[in-house]
Amino acid sequence: MQDYTNDAVKAIMADYTPIQVKTLMHDHNEKNFVHHQTTKEIVDFYAEHNEDIHHWLLDDNHAYEYYATAMNAYNRAQQLCTSEKERFQVQNEYLKDVVYIFIATIAYDLAASHDMLDMSMDEVENYQLAKELQHAKTKLTVIDGGKK
């Protein structure tokens, strides 16, 4: 897999397991964005990575359509707000939409780069277990001083 310099992409790659990625491929329900559930988690992620997120979504042909639609809806909804409280709520929904579009895009890219698009969930679970086992073996080798 190519090395990404985008810190937002690295954060998603570090947070989401292959099983979580595969789940997102089949169901974009909010509950499946497991590391970005609360408004605080979403706003914190956005605050730390907003430039990377926006550049990524502007450059991705498929995600851009969703991103532009969300931005258009946000702008229209802002015009209808009658209080700062409403504006704040609309802004939080927009940030959630943008972060979720970004995560879904990265999940697809991860699945494609690891040949997981056509794998069954069982195959992805086995893939993840094999990775975890390899990581545990490597960790034990280091702890044991490299003895075999």
Q: Is residue 65 domain-shared with residue 107, that is, in the same domain?
A: yes
Mean pLDDT of 4-32: 88
Q: Is 2 exposed, middle or buried (0-12, 13-18, 19+ CB in 10 A)?
A: exposed
Per the rule left: phi > 0, alpha: psi between -120 and 50, beta: everything else, 115 is: left
Distance CA 57, CA 82 (A): 30
Q: Which domain holds residue 45?
A: 7-117
Q: What is the pLDDT of residues 32-45, one digit of tens each?
A: 999 999 999 999 99
As a whole number of angstroms, the distance between CA 79 and CA 104 comes to 28
Q: Tokens 């897999």 — which residue?
A: 1
pLDDT of residue 100: 96
Q: What is the pLDDT of residues 87-98, one digit of tens each?
A: 999 999 999 999
Confidence at residue 128, expressed as pLDDT on a 0 to 100 scale? 83
17 found inside a domain: yes
Query: What is the tally of structural domains in the chain?
Result: 2
Is residue 82 in some structural domain? yes
pLDDT band of residue 26 (cuts 50, 70, 90) is confident
Per-residue pLDDT at 144: 62
Say yes or no: 66 and 113 in one domain.
Answer: yes
75 with 21, same domain: the answer is yes
Same domain, 99 and 42: yes
Q: Is the pLDDT of residue 14 over 50?
A: yes
Provide the pLDDT confidence category of residue 147 given band limits of 50, 70 and 90: low
pLDDT tens across 40-67, in order?
999 999 999 999 999 999 999 999 999 9
Predicted confidence band of residue 1 (pLDDT cuts 50, 70, 90): very low
Say yes or no: 72 and 11 in one domain. yes
What six digits make up the tokens of 142? 């280091």
